[in-house]
């Protein structure tokens, strides 16, 4: 018996003007799934995340998250944690790590209410979860890229979500730190019972950590285990170029050559 779907998309289409960004997407993401969403630049990955978050309404099709359309979740919206791309943040803004994580509580307590002692405790517990409590008093801009991303995850965890969406969370960090980052996500998934969707370009690293891969290039080519995806010849179709094998971690991976 399979787990119930946390996210379900049926025949979802999104257009920017007359150009399709997503075409006929059918996708079910089960409770507790750890999914890597991969595809080339401009393939619709961030658009898909926006659809799931309810920030973008599809032109056609049906989307449900926790059984309801994302724009009608009400208080259940707090069950979704979101970590956007690092390029969307101002890392020089004078704010402490502790205050950044407390921002994750605003969905629960409201923008104009002061955090309580309980909220403070949850924020510190979230920093504990990502091994960043000792940096609580530091300025966010003093941290490395990998540390900043851990803080962003702590902010998302502070909302006590059941679903965690991350858009290119490991961009700009080295491979060793990236491996550690995905190991951390796996630990958080098990400890907190999370469903996790990670948008990434780094097929080689993420494939060693996730349970499923979804290959997207406007349309969804495959949603299956990494082993199946990487041996099915799917990546050539998705990326439109030849790939070569590279041994990395528990399974062989494919490296995508530079292409237009």
pLDDT tens, residue by residue, 4-37: 799 999 999 999 999 999 999 999 999 999 999 9
Note the pLDDT of residue 253. 47
Helix, strand or coil for residue 11? strand
Q: Could you read off the pLDDT of 162-193 as tens digits, one per residue?
A: 999 999 887 766 767 788 888 999 999 999 99
Note the pLDDT of residue 123. 95
Give the residue with greater pLDDT, 80 vs 235: 80
132: pLDDT strictly greater than 70: yes
Q: Could you read off the pLDDT of 65-78 as tens digits, one per residue?
A: 999 999 898 878 88
3-state secondary structure 228-241: HHHHCCHHHHHHCC
pTM: 0.86
Looking at residues 225-231, what average pLDDT do you find?
A: 86
Note the pLDDT of residue 109. 74
In whole numbers, what is the pLDDT of the chain averaged over residues? 86
Tokens of 60: 């056609």
Quick one: DSSP state of residue 135? Answer: G
Looking at residues 91-96, what average pLDDT do you find?
A: 80
What is the crossing angle of helices 117-129 and 175-192, to 10°?
Answer: 130
Note the pLDDT of residue 24. 97
pLDDT band per the 50, 70, 90 thresholds, residue 246: very low
Note the pLDDT of residue 111. 66
Q: Could you read off the pLDDT of 195-205 as tens digits, one per residue?
A: 999 998 888 78
pLDDT band per the 50, 70, 90 thresholds, residue 245: very low
Alpha-carbon distances of 166 from 23, 33, 52, 156, 169, rounded to whole Å: 22, 14, 12, 10, 6
Contact status, residue 177 vs residue 143, Cβ threshold 8 Å:
no
């Amino acid at each position: 018996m399979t787990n119930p779907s946390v996210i379900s998309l049926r025949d979802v289409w999104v257009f920017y003007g007359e150009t399709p960004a997503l075409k006929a997407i059918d996708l079910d993401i089960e409770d507790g799934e750890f999914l890597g969403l991969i595809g080339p630049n401009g393939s619709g990955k961030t658009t898909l995340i926006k659809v799931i978050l309810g920030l973008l309404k599809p032109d056609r099709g049906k989307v449900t998250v926790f059984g309801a359309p994302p724009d009608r979740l009400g208080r259940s919206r707090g069950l979704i944690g979101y970590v956007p791309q690092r390029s969307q943040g101002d890392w020089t803004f004078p704010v402490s790590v502790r205050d950044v994580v407390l921002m994750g509580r605003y969905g629960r307590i409201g923008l104009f209410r002061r955090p309580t002692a309980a909220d403070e405790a949850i924020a510190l517990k979230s920093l504990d979860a990502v091994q960043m409590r000792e940096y609580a008093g530091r300025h966010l801009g003093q941290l490395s890229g990998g540390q900043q991303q851990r803080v962003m995850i702590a902010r998302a965890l502070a909302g006590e979500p059941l679903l965690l969406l991350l858009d290119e969370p490991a961009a700009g960090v080295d491979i060793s730190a990236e491996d550690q980052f995905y190991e951390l996500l796996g630990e958080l998934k098990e400890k907190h019972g999370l469903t996790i969707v990670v948008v990434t370009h780094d097929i080689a690293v993420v494939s060693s950590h996730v349970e499923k891969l979804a290959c997207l290039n406007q349309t969804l080519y495959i949603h299956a285990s990494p082993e199946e995806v990487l041996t099915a010849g799917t990546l050539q179709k998705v990326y439109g170029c030849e790939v070569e094998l590279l041994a990395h971690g528990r399974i062989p991976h494919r490296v995508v050559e530079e292409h237009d």
